[in-house]
Amino acid sequence: MTNSHQTDLIARLPKAELHLHIEGSFEPELMMALAARNKIDLPFKTLEDAKAAYNFSNLQEFLDLYYQGMQVLRTEEDFFDLTLAYLQRAKADNVRHVEMFYDPQAHTERGVPFGVVTDGILAAIRKGEQELGISSYLIMSFLRHLSEEDGFDLLVESERWHDKFVGVGLDSSEVGHPPLKFERLYQRCAEIGFKLCMHAGEEGPPSYVREALLDIGVDRIDHGNRCMEDPELVSIIRDMQVPLTNCPLSNLSLCVIDDLKKSPVKAQLEQGLLVTVNSDDPAYFGGYIGRNYEKTAEALDLSNDQLIQLARNSFTGSFLPEAAIKAHLASIDESIA
Ligand code: HPA
Ligand code: ZN
């Protein structure tokens, strides 16, 4: 059990969240409210029905529900409400900085314009900065089950907003869609000046993590669990200090691990990797970032120093400028003084 002292410490630590899909923070309560507002039928009538459907045995089963749930997001106000609701929850967990993914193609392909989605999210980000004191960076994600050509189309469509994105990501169905499928697209994104993220090694093999890191040259690996099967790769990741954004409750929900005790987070900390703890899709996986820290600490018997290290890593692994990282690290020191 996490003792109450550790629960306290986790709450007190300033944290950054580096792996969060804003559409994955869509709580069933809000989903039903927006379905009513937009006069759309949902397959579930009650909260209990919705939650009962959130019982996954792999990534694809989750993705099918995730894409279905977001169908009710139609207007700029919907995206604003979604994003602000997440930021309010992040505030309650003492999150100071967020780097959030969103999936524009999942909205434009069902007829919701790129600007409606993006401007709604950006307006909530501004409000979160002004009223909640949380800074947020936005990461535009490509859906990897679509083609590289589709990705180039998105890059063109989004041009007017490029200065609003810190970087790009790659998500959705991993197996069968290796990083090198998007080599030219990522080359172009690097030229534009975007930070490069990719989901790799969640379900896909260690070779996908290698490709992302060594062939594509990503700045951060999302998940990365399966790198642990390749000791040479682990050394490379340690030497490069490339951040890994682990998501323990997501790993458990999607059966990437069958027990939280098998989370790689502790081993990765002990081996000097720059690992962070994040919530991924908190409305679907049973908890926001605080609960991810608590459950992981409990399952792995993490020490206070390891919890503090995770909070420090969340800022060190962020795309914030050096001075801001230093200030956040100082606030961690203050919080534990
Ligand atoms: N993996 C891949 N794609 C996703 C995820 C994830 O965990 N969450 C939302 N899209
Ligand atoms: Zn993810």
Residue 151 has pLDDT above 70, yes or no: yes
Whether domain 4-336 has CATH 3.20.20.140: yes
Element (DSSP H or E) covering residue 223: strand 220-223
Task: Give residue 1's pLDDT.
Answer: 57
Residue 240 has pLDDT above 70, yes or no: yes
Residue nearest to atom 3 of ligand 1 (CA): 172
- What's the pLDDT tens digit per position in 68-104? 999 999 999 999 999 999 999 999 999 999 999 999 9
- Do strands 135-143 and 15-21 pair parallel, antiparallel, or not at all (unpaired)? unpaired
Give the position, in ligand 1's atom list, of the atom nearest the Cα of 141: 10
Ligand 1: distance of its center to the CA of 249 in Å?
A: 13
What lies within 8 Å, CB to CB, of 78 at 6+ separation is 34, 37, 38, 72, 120
What residues have their beta carbon closer than 5 A to ion ligand 2?
280
Q: How far is 107 from 110, CA to CA, in rounded Å?
A: 5
Alpha carbon of 21 to ligand 2 centroid (Å) = 6
Find the distance separating the first CA and the last CA of the chain, reported in whole Å: 24
Q: Pocket around ligand 1: residues whose beta carbon is below 6 Å from it?
A: 21, 24, 59, 66, 171-172, 199, 202, 250, 280-281
Across the range 307-325, mean pLDDT stands at: 99
All structural domains of the chain with their residue ranges = 4-336
Distance separating alpha carbons of residues 116 and 83, to the nearest angstrom? 13
Grouping H, G, I as helix, E, B as strand and the rest as coil, residue 316 is helix
Ligand nearest to the CA of 256: 1
Dig out the tokens for 120 from the structure: 């709604």
Mutate to test the pocket of ligand 1, among 17, 18, 21, 107 (most ligand atoms within 8 A of CB): 21
* CA nearest ligand 1 atom 10, residue: 172
Active site residues: 202
Mean pLDDT of 272-293: 98
Ligand 1, pocket-test mutation among 171, 198, 255, 284, most atoms within 8 A of CB:
171
Residue 270: C-alpha distances to residues 225, 297, 314 (Å): 15, 14, 16
Of 329, 307, 308, nearest to 318 (Cα)?
329
Q: Identify the nearest ligand to the CA of 254 by its number.
A: 1
What is the best residue among 54, 101, 172, 174 to mutate for testing ligand 1's pocket, by most ligand atoms within 8 Å of CB? 172
Q: Which residue has the tokens 């550790």?
A: 6
Lowest mean pLDDT among 44-58, 209-223, 273-287, 302-316: 44-58
139's enclosing H/E stretch is: strand 135-143
- Ligand 1: nearest atom to the Cα of 254: 7
Q: Which residues contact 297 (CB under 8 A, 6 or more apart)?
A: 2, 6, 10, 306, 307
Average pLDDT of the chain is 97
User: Which residue has its alpha carbon closest to ligand 1 atom 4?
Assistant: 172
Q: Residue 43 CB: number of other CB atoms within 10 A? A: 10
What is the DSSP-derived secondary structure letter of residue 257? Answer: S
The residues, ordered by sequence, that sit 6+ positions from 49 with a Cβ below 8 Å of its Cβ are: none
Dist CA 119 CA 144 (whole Å):
24
State mean pLDDT over 288-307. 98
> Which whole number is the average pLDDT over 225-252?
98
